[in-house]
Structure 1
Amino acid sequence: MKWSVALMAVLIAFSSSFAGTYGIHHPTDAVQESGSADESTYIPEMRWLSEEHPLISAEQVEHYAGVGISEGKRAVIMYENGSVSYDYFSSGNDAYDLIIIAPDDWKDSLAPLQQHKESHGIQTMVVGLNEIYGGTYFSVQGRDDAEKIKYFIKNAIEEWGIEYVMLVGSYYRLPMRNAVHIWEDRHRLVTFAIPTDLYYADIYRYEGGTIVFSTWDTNGNGVYGEVYEDGLGENDIIDVYPDVYVGRLACENERIVRNTVEKIIKYENKAYGEEWFKRMILVGGDTFPGWGVVEGEFMNNFVADIMKGFSFYRIQYSQGNLNAVEIEKALEKGAGFLYYSGHGFPYGWATYAIDDENETWVGRYFTPYIAALFNGYRLPVIFLDACLTAKLDFNSSDLREDGVPMPINATFPCFAWSFVRHPYGGAIATVGATRVAFTGVDEEGPHWGAGLLAASFFEAYQETDILGEVFAGAQEAYANNAPGDTFTLQEFILLGDP
């Protein structure tokens, strides 16, 4: 399912407390301030600079949003005025580009991926969770395991110069942060938890003239990322802009680690320059029959206009081919991207026929179908503009709620991750929502929610082909264009190598 425009208004009311002032942050030894005539200033030891900058006018301060990576540089980001960026040059602290964080007993199985990355010039470090919790590299900070991991990433940025973080482990093997949104329903407070990896990417925020670690718990009550509707409580202050590029391989066991590592290596060695990569699969129907535009197909076409240089295979209700067989055929031929816009579940997707008042599901494609895919290394990146497809905490109770008898309690791989973990094909990476999504689309285009994030993702691809940077670029653009909506940014995660 996907929430509609009407419910979006409720969620936007949960506007998070962005920092209300401005500053810069960059780890540096010598700094050249972009746009300034000043000479570079030599700073003998690593430290954080935090200062007002003459390029930021009083008018721009009103539009201050946050600090993060913008176009590959650490920057002050404004809603309407772009960003004021700072080039920095480090001296001897760029030890690693990528850190891979995983359970300790998986480190040997990740060694081939480390070697592969380094053979391509990407300096890589594999770090075990117990090494983080035990202080092997840096002194331990943090109140729980998730915060200890986040502090480790902060230290790795400052001491090693890392830009990319790969988290390896399922929801139950490597913790996610649950951000909390709270609203009132029939005179009682409803608490809604969103598992998110944005927590690990949003390392810093600006406060009172200083760049500080972003705890996502500024009121100190042990509840993270709190956003209340209509002032019902004190919001936590977060800026939502990523400071590192983060992706997750949600592996449940070591066998899946080995399979996924082999899949990534084969893809990176073989896919570049292949003709099939310039194909894109577009899947959609009428997400909300009778609401105006045919949302799914409209968004398919909207994204197609963005993706220059690609040919398109449309699997849509209006084409008469919206079925599982056509989806499988298209994937078997290979494609660089697949974009689906419609309804989603932890175990699949489905949408509606155009103007179907009875709302009968069409185009159903479920997790078991993925096992029949044998597309080898011809793997797309899939963006799932839908609800729940990346619900990494998917379990028996979800199926019972949907009327499926489940006599035992068990956990299951969610739909989005199932594409990536499939050893004989599927996808190289997916972007999906861990919870119910919403969207706002009309004849002018997407304005908020999943549709706008999807469009931002494919627009970001026009600037870079590094997946983690594409996803972070989409997050930055979304935060600029839909300020206050932390919900969408928190629930969409990247399942794949950043």
Structure 2
Amino acid sequence: MGKLGLQKLFVFSIFFVIVLIIPVIPLRMEMEGQYTTEKNILEKLSSSDSHLSVDNLTLPEIDYDALNDAWINQKVEMLIIVNDSSFVDSVTPLMDWKNEKGVKTIILSNYTEYEGRDKAEQIRNMIKEYYEKENIQWVLLAGDAEENLIPIREVYNPDVVVREGGDSEYLNWDDYYKPTDFYYADLTGSWDNNNNSIWGESVIYTGDTDEISWIPDVYVGRLPADNTFELSVMVNKTLKYETDPFLGNWMNRMLLAGGVSSYYRYHPEPDELITDEDEARLTEYIWQNHVISESNFTHLTKTTVSFTPSVPPPPNNLTSLTATSFIDEFNSGYSTVIIAGHSDPTVITDDSDTTYYTNGEASSSSNVNMPSLFYADACTTSSYDKGDNSIGEILINEAGSGAIGYIGGLRVNWYFQEDYNLEKLNRGNAKLFWEVFFKEKKFQQGRTLYDSKVSYMNSDYFERGAASINQEWQRKNLLTYNL
């Protein structure tokens, strides 16, 4: 997670809610200081002087043709996109299940029939046609991000280059072009208005218009499978989770872990001074404002001297974040997880250099039949376009354990020092994700992710002019967190 200076329970699938717990509340109204129950109202209606006669009512004729047409020709709601026909059998059980639930779903692999300068544009144009004709809501990219499968779009986003002081992406990854599946969600225009084959340029580079509208039209998720075997593993885990979940306390538990992004380092130049930065401030805010009334939780923290975390009421727990505590807790089973710190594709750590989780631990995860929705507030843990060894991809690929969904960065992402309102970049993104999830009760993780991106762009932080979509680091954070 890159630093910018001072202004420098719930069971859910990839898309759809499986279990809803709806409280039954008796109807009760207060009228002129007296409480009136539903029964009282019915009694008053029955004794009213206004006599209603069913014989005098005229009912509209039922349009049976329209009803039959709506039933037989139901609009498509979800697309499952595969690379070719060899992948169809692997996703057919998922399509059948969605259709059984009443969500009309089809499998597509005929992207070559659509215009486009490359495969990604052909796939997007196919999605766009179904959105315009059928008003689809959901798109599942059933394949990894390599060019020979379901390629990801690389957009022009030189955030690490234009940042004052300079920076770079992990290893020798491109500093100018960054991958994102947002391309398949925002279907406005072509993302290349000036037809120079440089996608996603801001107004700074086009001179007149942003090539991205930033409003998602559909909710997009990806199963990053390299082959039919991996895809079957991911689909079977999803079906088990939705149709036959393991019932237990894990379904109503959340794991929150906040590390130290930086320890204080003095510098005579104010802009170069490094402050204590505790991500436990963020995770504490999330449990205090969104989790405590909805779920039990465990809060793991490592902190600087500048922050003392609050002790939550029982049965919730506050425990130290250590080299083993996160692994042990995660493997014990939690419905939802967030960890905030630093990382590369294979290791989650923080400024203390303590290793909290690795791709090795991910590949041996033992939360069997208790896969989590996992949110990593950290860099590059979900770089599924660069090989298959990232923490996020491994957790999704674990059969029966690991993660049922993984929200993480494909590349370097950003935070501001002294962001006490927890509103900027990584902290704002994470805070709003869990607000949309718990407060707005949007338990479909694809909807939560994309709606929280919109909430971020509509937040007071943007409205008061403190942030701009023309800033490359703002664009980066919105583009790089994917499902």
**Which residue of 2 is the match for residue 406 of structure 1?**
none
Alignment CA distance shift 1:112-1:363 (3 Å): same
- From the two aligned structures, give the one with the greater strand fraction: 1
Structure 2 counterpart SS, 1:442: coil
Distance in structure 1 (CA, Å) of the matches to 2:6 and 2:412? 11
Give runs of aligned pairs for residues 226-237 of structure 1, distance below 5 A. Answer: 226-227=201-202, 236-237=210-211
**Which residue of 1 is the match for residue 465 of structure 2?**
none
Picking from 433, 438, 444, the partner of 2:409 is: 433
Alignment CA distance shift 1:288-1:185 (3 Å): closer
Picking from 344, 354, 364, the partner of 1:362 is: 354
TM-score by length of 1: 0.70
**Which residue of 1 is the match for residue 336 of structure 2?**
337
Deviation at 1:323, TM superposition (A): 3.0
**Which residue of 1 is the match for residue 436 of structure 2?**
460
Distance in structure 2 (CA, Å) of the matches to 1:167 and 1:344? 26
Query: Is it true that 1:381 corresponds to 2:357 in the alignment?
Result: no
Distance in structure 1 (CA, Å) of the matches to 2:118 and 2:334? 41
**Which residue of 2 is the match for residue 110 of structure 1?**
91
**Which residue of 2 is the match for residue 477 of structure 1?**
455
**Which residue of 2 is the match for residue 402 of structure 1?**
none
**Which residue of 1 is the match for residue 481 of structure 2?**
492
What CA deviation, in whole Å up to 9, does each residue of 1:353-394 have, x standing for no partner? xxxxxxx40143110111221212211111111111111233
Runs of 5+ consecutive residues of structure 2 not aligned to the other structure: 9-69, 167-173, 265-273, 304-317, 463-467
Runs of 5+ consecutive residues of structure 1 not aligned to the other structure: 10-89, 205-213, 353-359, 395-410
Whether the 8 Å CA contact 1:8–1:438 is kept in 2: the answer is no
Distance in structure 1 (CA, Å) of the matches to 2:76 and 2:164? 52
Alignment CA distance shift 1:351-1:420 (3 Å): same
What CA deviation, in whole Å up to 9, does each residue of 1:182-213 have, x standing for no partner? 4558999x951110000000012xxxxxxxxx
Distance in structure 1 (CA, Å) of the matches to 2:418 and 2:244? 40
**Which residue of 2 is the match for residue 194 of structure 1?**
178
Alignment CA distance shift 1:422-1:7 (3 Å): farther
Query: Is it true that 1:218 corresponds to 2:193 in the alignment?
Result: yes
Which AA in structure 2 matches 1:219? N
**Which residue of 1 is the match for residue 80 of structure 2?**
100
Distance in structure 2 (CA, Å) of the matches to 1:220 and 1:378? 47
Query: Is it true that 1:296 corresponds to 2:279 in the alignment?
Result: yes
Structure 2 counterpart SS, 1:460: helix
**Which residue of 2 is the match for residue 401 of structure 1?**
none
TM-score by length of 2: 0.72
Whether the 8 Å CA contact 1:171–1:250 is kept in 2: the answer is yes
Deviation at 1:456, TM superposition (A): 1.0
Which AA in structure 2 matches 1:340? I
Distance in structure 1 (CA, Å) of the matches to 2:129 and 2:72? 15
Give runs of aligned pairs for residues 78-477 of structure 1, distance below 5 A. Answer: 94-104=74-84, 105-128=86-109, 131-133=110-112, 135=113, 140-172=114-146, 173-182=149-158, 192-204=176-188, 214-227=189-202, 236-271=210-245, 274-290=248-264, 291-292=274-275, 294-305=277-288, 306-307=290-291, 308-318=293-303, 321-352=320-351, 360-394=352-386, 411-440=387-416, 442=418, 444-461=420-437, 462-463=439-440, 464-477=442-455
Deviation at 1:309, TM superposition (A): 1.5
Structure 2 counterpart SS, 1:224: coil
Deviation at 1:113, TM superposition (A): 1.0
Distance in structure 1 (CA, Å) of the matches to 2:419 and 2:175? 34
Whether the 8 Å CA contact 2:407–2:482 is kept in 1: the answer is yes
RMSD: 2.7
Deviation at 1:455, TM superposition (A): 0.8
- Number of equivalent positions: 373
Structure 1 counterpart SS, 2:125: helix
Structure 2 counterpart SS, 1:362: coil
Distance in structure 2 (CA, Å) of the matches to 1:419 and 1:436? 20
Which AA in structure 2 matches 1:199? Y
Structure 1 counterpart SS, 2:5: helix
Deviation at 1:271, TM superposition (A): 3.8
Which AA in structure 1 matches 2:349? A
Which AA in structure 2 matches 1:466? Q
Which AA in structure 1 matches 2:357? Y
**Which residue of 2 is the match for residue 44 of structure 1?**
none
Whether the 8 Å CA contact 2:429–2:456 is kept in 1: the answer is yes
Deviation at 1:148, TM superposition (A): 1.0
| Mean Cα deviation higher: 320-329 or 274-283 | 320-329
